[in-house]
Every structure is written in structure tokens, then in C-alpha cells.
Amino acid sequence: MMTTSTLYDSLVKIVGKDFVSDQKEERYFYARDGGLMPPHEPDFVVMPKTTEEVQKTVKLANREKVPIVPVGAGLALTGLVIPQKAGIVLDMKRMDKILEVNEKARYVVVEAGVTQGALKSHLQKHHPHLRHSIPDAPPIATIVANAVIHGQGRLSQQHGFNSDMVSGLEVVLPTGELCRIGSCSVSSYWFSKGAPLPDLSGLFLGWFGTTGIITKLGLKLYPCKKMRDVMVFLTDKAELVPDIMLRLSHTEMIEDVVVSAAPLPLRFRGTFWVMAYITGDSDEELEFKRKMVWDSLWQDFESRDVGFLSISPDMKPPLMSMPSKDTTRFADVSKGGGFQYAGPITPIEKFPAFISKLEEVAAKYSVFYASTTRLIGAGHCMMFSFSFSFNRANADEMARAKKALDECSKFALEEGGVLWKADIYEQKLLMDRMDPNTLVLMKKIKELLDPNGIMNPGNWEVG
């Protein structure tokens, strides 16, 4: 087995001296994320530029049985890229090329470090009639990491999880081989991640980097209309929200449906904001869609259960922005630089119970809360966030926020939800409930692909 200094020299030979660090400062920063999981330092931080460099690094790690953790921007907040067993953190953000936009087949192929912001900007400048599903995460979040955690975005109401929009993968397997997944495995086109072939993308999506390192990804693009607007409806009846979401979705004219709830400002406490985003290529199209949205909720207006919020000009830009800076600002509500959320994926009928639980838990642990719900698919499920902000300088508040999150996660599981981007403890909760044969299958897959257990160890570890 190599010594630490020999390993360092070997890594330098692969990526160059400027892009390997074993210094305390980098190890400190990459040991943690903005959430509440305990830190753990890597031995090295490495920044590859090419697929070949990733392959060489993985082969080295596999030979020396050194853990390796691929990292995007580290924004999952649940510690998914904290190197639980040290080793190498592979910061992928130098692999930042947008390789191809196929306008006719509506997909893009990106390297693993391309950020949401860079793709948005590239499409706006060079392909303004195309767009991708932008999540609410900050723009430094990478396309690949968002797909790997089954993220959602502005087009999830229409097209499902952002990982459903993947149209092909290039993966470095834990033993170093390079593998293509989907149509790109038999063709030069990246239009499908599976069909009509066996869909092998499931071996990598949702696995948090424990089965391989994605180096390229194809992503479906969608028509980008010239105009966009948001309509905001208010109700104080949580029990109506699932039906409102369903009726909005029934119009098949909505870009995105988001429901938010927060105790501040006081005038909105106890009120749910249902935001329906619409798009159009003309005033006529937009007006028609507005009318359809109105019609879909008319009965609620008549019963006075739902109201329409007329949005002032200064309120609209924050609501329309992609990504939403307001989501990030929640981290400073406690003037303390932290927030984390449990975001179970769950049937939308659970909205009233989840809101009630959120308020109960926030009061119990005396933590500041907010919630954002996003409709996924045509009402097939929703992501409901139990969000708590905390002050990083206040250990007690952090502990209370963690307890609140844990209680919400357990509640969500009991209610039939499935935890999204579960941390290592939540993964165990999920696996405790999982069909035993499913667990066996996961274990077999993991052992087959990663015989030395080097890939992001600690995550999805089936006992």
C-alpha cells in the first residue's frame, strides 16, 4: 500500500500540482457542507480536467483501496459528499465544457462540472428557444449532481424529476473502465438514457456516487416560450391545497406549481401561497392560459376559500427568478448562515398532515421554519420541504434544528413518504423499511460494480 506522500505524488502526476491539495484549508472546507451533518476530512482534494484523469485517479484509488467521493457544489445539505471514510474528494467543477446542443433532438451533452447557471446562460445566449429544468438550488449546483440526487426543477410538474430528463451518461466505473449508458452506447446521438435498450441509468442515478463517477451527461431540453408569468393564489385551508394542485395540473397548461408557507411576514402566517407559473409565445397565449387557470379554481373563489394575490412590480422579479435567490436567503433568516430541509417525496394528499407536523415540530424545538412544495409529474407526487434555518454560531439552535429534521423525516416515512437525498442515517431508516429482496439486489449491484468498496463509502451501505 502506498504511503500518503507517494499517493500525493501519484495524484500530482495525474492532474498536475496545481490541482491536488493535501493542505488543511482545503481538507477543512471539503469536509463539510452547509447543512447539519458532522464533518469528516478527506486526505486529498483533486480536481480533474478530463475523463482520462478521472479514470486514472479511480484506477489508482481502486488499486490502493482508497475511498473516493465525487463532488459537484456540495449543496445537497445532507452531507452526501462528506468523505465519511476520508480518502480522495474529486471536485468535478473543472470539467466544465458544454459539449453539444442538438437543437433538432432537443438535448445537451455536458461534462460533469457544468453548473446550472452556466447551462442556463449558454442556452439563453445561443439557443434561446430551448431551456432545461432549473432547480431552486444556487447556480453553482451542477447538472450531474442534481440528476444524481433526483433533483427537481421548473419543469418537474410537466416532465417529472430532473433525473427523468437525463438522456444518456458516460460513467467511469469504480474499477476504472469507461462506460456509456443509453442511446450514446450504440450511436453518436444522446437522445435516450434507456429505451429501447435495457435502462442501465438506474445503476447510477440516485446512488450518490457509490457506483461510479459520471463524467458526461445528456439532458433533455424543452421549448422555451418567449413570455412567462406567475399567478399567486392564497388560501388558509391546508386541506384544499392538494385539490388545488390537481386542478391546476389538470389544465395541462402550467409550467410549475409551487406552494410556500412561512410564519413571516406576520400578515401571511397561516396562509399558503400557491404559485402557478405559465408561459406563452404571445399575449394571446398567455391570456388564454390565465383564463384557464382562473376557470380551474373558480369554484374556490366563489366559495371564498381561495383568493388571488395581486403582485406588485417589486414582488414579481424574486418570484420569477431562476434560480430563486429567496430560497438561499432563508439561510440568513436566523442571521446565522445555515438551513437544512428534509424533503420527502410523497403523495400530494399528505400536504395538510405535513404542514401540521411542520408547525408542531417548529414550535416544539423553537426553530424558524418554512416550507416549499413542488408538484412533480401531473400530480403523481410532490416534494414537501420541512425547512429549518439555524445560526451556525449557536450550537444549541443547530442541535434543535437537527432534532426537528429527524422528527420530520421519521414522520414522513410513517406517512408513506420516501426521503429525498437522505443523509447516511436516513438512508438506514429507508433501508430498514425496504423490501429485503430489494436490499439484496442493491447489495449485489454494489458489490459487482465496486468490489473494493471505494466509492463514497458510508452511503447506501447495505449491511
Partner 1 sequence: MQKYVSQIHRCFRCGYCKFPADYSSFNCPSYRRFRFDSYSTGGRLWLIYAWLRGEIDWSEHLAEILYTCTTCKNCTEQCPMKFAPDIVDWIVGARSDMVEKGKIPARVARFFEAVYGYGNPFKQLRSDRAAWANGAKRYAQGDEYLLYVGCLGSYDENGQKMARCLVDILKASGVSFGILGEQEECCGNEIYMLGETGLFQNLAEKNSLKFKELSVGKVITLCPHGYNTMKNLYPASGGNFKVYHYTQVLNDLIKKNKIEPARARARVTYHDPCFLGRHNNIYDEPRRILQAIPGIELVEMERNRKDAFCCGGGSGNFVTDLLAGSADSPARVRAREAYETGADTLAVACPSCLTMLTDAVKAENLDDRLAVRDVSQILKDLSPAR
Chain residues that interact with partner 1, rule: CB under 8 A: 18-19, 21, 23-26, 28-30, 33-34, 45, 47, 73-75, 91, 93-94, 115-118, 120-122, 124-125, 138-140, 325, 328-329, 331-332, 335-339, 391-393
- Measure the CA–CA gap between 370 and 340, rounded to whole angstroms: 10
Minimum CB distance to partner 1 smaller for 25 or for 414: 25
Reduced to 3 states, what is the DSSP secondary structure of residue 3? coil
Minimum CB distance to partner 1 smaller for 239 or for 332: 332
Minimum CB distance to partner 1 smaller for 49 or for 180: 49
In angstroms, give the least distance from the CB of 123 to partner 1.
Answer: 11
Minimum CB distance to partner 1 smaller for 28 or for 294: 28
Helices (H), 43-112: 51-64
Q: Which of 38, 46, 1, 54 is nearest to 22 (CA)?
A: 46
C-alpha grid cell for residue 398?
443547530
In angstroms, give the least distance from the CB of 14 to partner 1.
Answer: 16
* Residue found under cell 406563452: 280
- Measure the CA–CA gap between 307 and 292, rounded to whole angstroms: 16
In angstroms, give the least distance from the CB of 16 to partner 1.
Answer: 10
Minimum CB distance to partner 1 smaller for 70 or for 206: 70
Residue type, 316: K
Minimum CB distance to partner 1 smaller for 281 or for 332: 332
C-alpha grid cell for residue 448?
459487482
In angstroms, give the least distance from the CB of 183 to partner 1.
Answer: 29
Minimum CB distance to partner 1 smaller for 389 or for 459: 389
CA dihedral 110, 116, 121, 122 (to 10 degrees): 10
Please answer whether residues 242 and 348 qualify as being in contact, where contact means their C-beta atoms are separated by less than 8 angstroms: yes
In angstroms, give the least distance from the CB of 28 to partner 1.
Answer: 5
In angstroms, give the least distance from the CB of 94 to partner 1.
Answer: 6
- Measure the CA–CA gap between 71 and 51, rounded to whole angstroms: 15
Strand partners, 102: 107
In angstroms, give the least distance from the CB of 31 to partner 1.
Answer: 10
In order of 24, 42, 60, 78, 453, the CA distances from 66 in angstroms are 19, 11, 8, 23, 9
Burial of 394-407, coded b for 16+ CB within 10 Å and e otherwise, reads: eeebbebbbbbbbb
Please answer whether residues 336 and 390 qualify as being in contact, where contact means their C-beta atoms are separated by less than 8 angstroms: yes
In angstroms, give the least distance from the CB of 256 to partner 1.
Answer: 19
Q: Which of 145, 152, 137, 133 is nearest to 206 (CA)?
A: 145
Please answer whether residues 172 and 164 qualify as being in contact, where contact means their C-beta atoms are separated by less than 8 angstroms: no
Write the DSSP symbol of residue 376.
E
Minimum CB distance to partner 1 smaller for 47 or for 244: 47
In angstroms, give the least distance from the CB of 24 to partner 1.
Answer: 6
Minimum CB distance to partner 1 smaller for 139 or for 182: 139
